[in-house]
A and B are shown apart, each in its own frame.
Chain A
């Protein structure tokens, strides 16, 4: 049973009529825009389309940063040996000089360890 008083019902109906009085029409330009956007998206190859999506892009960046960080940490942790010893020219000359002082090389084809020629007649 409807208990609403007639005056209140009239106000209610008037409000409903007012609410129904405004609206929008389907805009053909909007459909054209949406269709062009959908077609453009569907023409893009799958992985590229995924990358173009903000979440995809953020995910790829995060993966890249994580991979770069891990590689850098691994490289630092490895026991690296230098492939050659860095020596300055001065160090090299000094070290060669000390060899020369220690023992001169055998001359005139004498066998190493042979007695030195005294210069006297046999």
Chain B
């Protein structure tokens, strides 16, 4: 595995790709510890408790209707819990690594120094844990039913899965169904996660856990369009841990 440069990072927050406004994204994981040292111990001992995570996003202020200011302001003002995907492994691309989850925004700061660009910082408390996963789409706008390129994990896993859907653009005139499918042989595919049907001309985001623990070796995203016009840009990320 080659090293990655941070400049290619993509950040999907809710129904928006806000990468163009950001220059820093830091997902951070931690876990509680409880001390179990007893009398006579020469060194402290611990057991672990619950894991926790936060996300810090920073960049340049932009006040346009769908730019970073509007996105951050909407989330913190309306107590939203958007899905997020941070694609630090060469950005959005099929099979690229990412961090994903859902989060509450805990702060939004705008800084306007006299000698520098106006900047923004958003802090997020992850709820339900942050997961390391892969992307199943490359950010292409789709205008036909598409079975995405499969991602090979080399083996099945047995601890469930959780997936995010970000629909960041949608001009379809009819509804779209987006699923995650898994397979043992890269030939026969079973529905694993079915996201809520995406209405015409609607951008949306969703986080769903798989209903089963066994996740087969191959994964792909399937986008099914009904008769109509226009295109849709779905981006699915999935982690093999619920």
* A-B complex is real: no
Which residues of A does B touch, CB under 8 Å? none
Which residues of B does A touch, CB under 8 Å? none
